A and B are shown apart, each in its own frame.
Chain A
C-alpha cells in the first residue's frame, strides 16, 4: 500500500526533510551469506558488449543531420565582455547557429571563472564550429579576481548563507582540561574527475518535445532540470543514457552543455551535439574543491578523546556547494565535545561538483592524520586509539545505527597491522618502510522513491524494466542477480532494460553510493510480485496450494517433491505476460544508516629523493550485504586507485595571479596508470543490515576512496616520523615533512642534552 511519510532524504551527505510517497517493504530479508546468484562472483552481463566497443555511448551517437557545437569559454577568471561579433561567426563556413550571452541563461557576459561559458556555435562539423569561435573576436575587460580562500573568508565571500557551526558539549573547557592536545593544519588540493567520456549531450526536438541523449548519472534529474529550464511538462523531455563513460559525481546535473545543445537544436531544427573537449573537461565540469583544515584533538592520558575541533575552509569556486568536510570529525568517534566551523568560500575559480564522497575524503585525511599525531604523542597504538573511542551510536543526535560492523573491520585489520615491526625492518638505505591505517565513515543507505517493473514471458525469461542508469559500476548485473535470485531462474535468463526515461519507471540517482541500496530492493519487490503470480498460476494448473510452491533453478517445486519446468507454466501464457511491479520501501525511522571501514596501507619512502611508493592497501569495509562479490572488488580497487592519485600525483594547478588552471591535459594532470597500482586486498564484512530494506545492502561506490589518503600519510609517518600536512604528497611535500621531522628531532635532542 502506498503511504505518505515525512522523512529525511540524504544524497552525498546532504539531508533534506520532505514528503515522500512510499510503499511498504513486506519481504523478509534473505539469509546471510552467498545465495544462488546473490553474494557471488558474476561477470558483467554487458561486459562483452562494452569490451567489444559495442556499448552505445553518447559519444558514439551520430543522428542524421546532427550539428556539432563549440563553446567560447572565458580565458579570464573575472571579466566583462565588451564586444562579441556574433554576426561574423554566423557567416562562417558551415555555421548554422550562434548563441550569445543574452540568449541563454547558461551563457554570461560577466564570466566569473576561467572556463565560464560565454557563447556557442553550432556547425556542420566540430572543426567548423571551433573555427567560427575565432570570428567572435571577443574583447574583454579584465577585472580583479578573488582567488585566495583565506582572503575570501576575510571578505565573507560565501557560496551559501555563511559559515556553518556545530558544537556539542563544551569544546573550550575540554581542551583546557585535557592531558594532551594536538593541533595541526592540513590542506588538500583541487582534483578533477576526468571521466574518459567527457561531458556531453545530444538534443533532438521532435513534435512538441525533446529527446536528450546524455552521459549522466541521473536520468530523472536531467529530465526534471531540463523541463524546468525549457518550461516543458516533464513528460515532454525524454532522457536516454544506455552507457556512459564514467561520472564520479560530476555528471549529476545537466551543466551548461545540455542547455546549449537544446537551444541550438530548437533554433536550427536539427539535432545538436555539445561534447566538451578534454581541455574543457579540465576547467568547466566541476572538481573536488581544495580545503584548509585547522584541527585540534584533545585527550586524557589513557587515550580517551575529550575534544575535537576544526575550522574547515572549502574553496568552493564561483558556484557549487560546500561539502561537509567536518562530517567525519562529528561522526567517526565517540567524543563528548566537538566544535566545527565550515566556510564555503566563493571564488573566481571553476565551480566544484560532487566527487566520490565529497567532503569526507578531505575531512578524513585531516582527522585521521590528526588521530595518528595524537597517538604518537600519547604513545598509544593507533588501532587501539580508534577502538578506545568507538562510537556505539550516532553522536550527532544519539540515534542508533541501523548496523555498524566497524569493530569487525578492526578485528580483520589486526593480522595486517601486526606486521608493523616486520615492515619497518625492511628499511634499506634511504628507503624506509611503514604501515598506516585510517577509518572510514560515509553514507550509502539510499532511499525511496525508486521503482522497477518485471515482465516474464512465455519463454520463462524475465526482463527488468526501470529507467535507471549503469554508470560503469555494474548495476545492470547486480539487478539481474537480484531478480534471478528472487525468481529462481538463471542470471542469463534475466535481461535488464534501463537507460531511458520514456521506457520504465522512476529510478534513483547513481550518486551517493545509492544505486544498489535504492534500486535493488525495488527490483526484488518486483520479482517477488511476478513470482507470486507465477505460483498462483502453477497452483491452479496442478491443483496444489500456493503456500507449498516455490521456484528454484528454473522449476516450480512443491514441498511434497513435485517439480515442473517453469516454462511449462509460462508456456500457458503464449503471448501473455506476467507483470510484476516493485517499489523501494522506506528507510528505518530514527536510525542512522552509514557505511564503515578501515584501510591499512604499506608504503616505502625514499628519504633522499622524497619518492613515495605504495606497496599494498588492505581495504576492509562494512557495506551490508554484497550483491556481486566480483564487481564489489572492482569498485574497491577503483576507489583506492583514485585515492592514490588524489594522495600522490593529482592536482589541478592554478596560476595564483590569474586564476587560470595550468593542468588541462592528461599529460599535465597526472592520473594513476597501471604501473602505479599496489597490491590491493579487498575484504568485505558482507553482513546484511537487518533494518535496511529487503536486501540489507548499502552502497560501495564511495567508501573505498574515503580513508586511502590518511592511511598512506600515516604509513609515511610510521616509516619516517614525518608529518604529512598537504596533498598531494609530492616529493617537495615529502622532503619538507622529512626536514621538519629532522629539525624536531634535533630540537628534542638539544632539550634532552640540556636537561641531562
Chain B
C-alpha cells in the first residue's frame, strides 16, 4: 500500500497495480485541482511536485512514488504565484492553470528571479490552448509582487 505525504499530510492509499498518481489524487483523495487533459504525458496539466520536482502525475504510477512527498495545487493555494497569476490575468479557462502554477513554483523555488529564457524553458511543457502564455510569463516574472 503506497504511503504518500500529500501537501504535508500522510496518506496510505489502497491502489491496484497500474493506478496513476493523478487517478489516486483525483478519484481516491478528491484532490481535483490536478487536471488530466491528455492522460499521456504530453500537456503538463497534471503536473505535481514529487519531492520538489515537477512530475506528470498522469503517467506516474502511484506505486513508484511510495514514501514520496507530493505537492499538488491544493498545497499551493496560498503561494504568491496564485495572486500573481490573477493580477496578470494569466488565467483564461483555467484548466491548465493549476499545472502551470505547480511548474512555476518549482522554477521560482530554484531561481527566485527567473529571466525570460528560464521561464520559457521551465514552462514549455505546460500547454495552454487559450494562449495565456504572455501573461504567464509576466506573472512569473513578477511573482514576488
Chain A residues packing against B (C-beta within 8 Å): 43-44, 46-55, 57, 59-60, 62, 193-198, 243-246, 248, 277-278, 471-474, 630-631, 633-634, 637-642, 665-667, 671-675, 677, 680
Q: Is the CB of B34 within 8 A of A638?
A: no
In the bound assembly, the distance between CA atoms of A474 and B92 in angstroms comes to 7
Q: Is the CB of A246 within 8 A of B124?
A: no
A42 to B: closest C-beta gap in Å: 9
Name the CB-closest residue of B to A246.
B93
A-B contact list, 26 entries, CB within 8 Å: A43-B86, A43-B89, A46-B94, A47-B86, A47-B89, A48-B82, A51-B85, A52-B33, A53-B74, A54-B33, A57-B35, A196-B35, A196-B43, A198-B37, A245-B93, A245-B95, A248-B129, A472-B92, A634-B92, A634-B135, A638-B92, A665-B40, A673-B126, A673-B127, A674-B128, A675-B124
B95 to A: closest C-beta gap in Å: 3
**What 0/1 pattern do residues 71 to 114 of B give for CB contact below 8 A with A?**
01110110000110111011111111110010000000000000
In the bound assembly, the distance between CA atoms of A527 and B3 in angstroms comes to 54
In the bound assembly, the distance between CA atoms of A474 and B43 in angstroms comes to 23
Q: Is the CB of B42 within 8 A of A665?
A: yes
Q: With a CB–CB cut-off of 8 A, which chain A residues contact B86?
A: 43-44, 47-48, 51
In the bound assembly, the distance between CA atoms of A639 and B89 in angstroms comes to 15
In the bound assembly, the distance between CA atoms of A642 and B101 in angstroms comes to 22
In the bound assembly, the distance between CA atoms of A107 and B137 in angstroms comes to 45
In the bound assembly, the distance between CA atoms of A331 and B124 in angstroms comes to 39
Q: With a CB–CB cut-off of 8 A, which chain B residues contact A638?
A: 92, 130-132
Q: Is the CB of B42 within 8 A of A674?
A: no
Known interface pairs A639-B131, A673-B127, A674-B136; A50-B91 also in contact (CB < 8 Å): yes
Q: Does B10 contact A (CB under 8 A)?
A: no
Q: Is the CB of B37 within 8 A of A196?
A: yes
Known interface pairs A47-B91, A52-B33, A278-B38; A637-B96 also in contact (CB < 8 Å): no
Q: Does B60 contact A (CB under 8 A)?
A: no
Known interface pairs A195-B129, A197-B37; A51-B135 also in contact (CB < 8 Å): no
Name the CB-closest residue of B to A248.
B129
Known interface pairs A196-B127, A248-B129, A673-B124; A47-B93 also in contact (CB < 8 Å): no
B5 to A: closest C-beta gap in Å: 19
Q: With a CB–CB cut-off of 8 A, which chain B residues contact A630?
A: 89
The 3 closest A-B pairs by CB, nearest first: A53-B33, A472-B93, A50-B94
Candidates A53, A248, A472; contact of B73 at CB < 8 Å: A53
Q: Is the CB of B133 within 8 A of A677?
A: yes
Chain B residues packing against A (C-beta within 8 Å): 26-27, 30, 32-40, 42-43, 45, 72-74, 76-77, 82-83, 85-87, 89-98, 101, 119-121, 123-137
Q: With a CB–CB cut-off of 8 A, which chain B residues contact A673?
A: 123-127, 133
Q: Is the CB of B38 within 8 A of A666?
A: yes
B37 to A: closest C-beta gap in Å: 4
B24 to A: closest C-beta gap in Å: 13
In the bound assembly, the distance between CA atoms of A333 and B94 in angstroms comes to 39
Q: With a CB–CB cut-off of 8 A, which chain A residues contact B126?
A: 673-674
In the bound assembly, the distance between CA atoms of A598 and B136 in angstroms comes to 25
Known interface pairs A244-B93, A674-B123; A196-B98 also in contact (CB < 8 Å): no
Q: Is the CB of A634 within 8 A of B33?
A: no
Name the CB-closest residue of A to B86.
A47
Q: With a CB–CB cut-off of 8 A, which chain B residues contact A55?
A: 94
B78 to A: closest C-beta gap in Å: 9
Known interface pairs A48-B83, A278-B40, A634-B89; A472-B94 also in contact (CB < 8 Å): yes
A677 to B: closest C-beta gap in Å: 5
| Other contacts beyond A196-B128, A637-B133, A674-B119: 17, CB < 8 A | A43-B87, A44-B86, A46-B94, A48-B86, A49-B94, A51-B90, A53-B72, A59-B95, A193-B129, A194-B129, A196-B35, A243-B94, A277-B39, A471-B93, A473-B92, A666-B40, A673-B124
Known interface pairs A62-B27, A642-B131, A665-B38; A51-B97 also in contact (CB < 8 Å): yes
B6 to A: closest C-beta gap in Å: 14
Known interface pairs A52-B82, A197-B95; A472-B33 also in contact (CB < 8 Å): no
Name the CB-closest residue of B to A666.
B42
Known interface pairs A48-B82, A52-B82, A246-B129; A675-B74 also in contact (CB < 8 Å): no
Q: Is the CB of A637 within 8 A of B91?
A: no
Q: With a CB–CB cut-off of 8 A, which chain A residues contact B90?
A: 51
Q: Is the interface of B mostly helix, strand, loop or mixed?
A: loop
Candidates A44, A54, A195; contact of B89 at CB < 8 Å: A44
In the bound assembly, the distance between CA atoms of A196 and B91 in angstroms comes to 13
Known interface pairs A473-B92, A637-B135, A677-B134; A51-B36 also in contact (CB < 8 Å): no
Q: Is the interface of A mostly helix, strand, loop or mixed?
A: loop
Q: With a CB–CB cut-off of 8 A, which chain A residues contact B77?
A: 52
Known interface pairs A51-B82, A52-B33; A641-B131 also in contact (CB < 8 Å): yes
A207 to B: closest C-beta gap in Å: 28
Q: Which of A49, A243, A472 has the most CB of B within 10 A?
A: A472
Q: With a CB–CB cut-off of 8 A, which chain A residues contact B136?
A: 674
In the bound assembly, the distance between CA atoms of A634 and B130 in angstroms comes to 9
Q: With a CB–CB cut-off of 8 A, which chain A residues contact B38?
A: 278, 665-666
In the bound assembly, the distance between CA atoms of A57 and B98 in angstroms comes to 13
Q: With a CB–CB cut-off of 8 A, which chain B residues contact A680?
A: 134
In the bound assembly, the distance between CA atoms of A246 and B82 in angstroms comes to 20
Name the CB-closest residue of B to A194.
B129
Q: With a CB–CB cut-off of 8 A, which chain B residues contact A47?
A: 85-86, 89, 91, 94
Name the CB-closest residue of A to B33.
A53
Known interface pairs A51-B82, A62-B27; A640-B131 also in contact (CB < 8 Å): yes
In the bound assembly, the distance between CA atoms of A185 and B85 in angstroms comes to 44
Name the CB-closest residue of A to B139.
A51
Q: Is the CB of B94 within 8 A of A245?
A: yes
Candidates A48, A196, A244, A674; contact of B129 at CB < 8 Å: A196
Q: With a CB–CB cut-off of 8 A, which chain B residues contact A278?
A: 37-40, 42
Q: With a CB–CB cut-off of 8 A, which chain B residues contact A639?
A: 131
Q: Is the CB of A50 within 8 A of B97?
A: yes
A376 to B: closest C-beta gap in Å: 31
A662 to B: closest C-beta gap in Å: 15
Q: With a CB–CB cut-off of 8 A, which chain A residues contact B92?
A: 246, 472-474, 634, 638
Known interface pairs A51-B82, A52-B77; A674-B93 also in contact (CB < 8 Å): no
Candidates A197, A633, A665; contact of B93 at CB < 8 Å: A197
In the bound assembly, the distance between CA atoms of A7 and B122 in angstroms comes to 52
Candidates A53, A62, A198; contact of B98 at CB < 8 Å: A53
Name the CB-closest residue of B to A669.
B42
In the bound assembly, the distance between CA atoms of A59 and B121 in angstroms comes to 29
A602 to B: closest C-beta gap in Å: 16
Q: Which of A243, A631, A634 has the most CB of B within 10 A?
A: A634
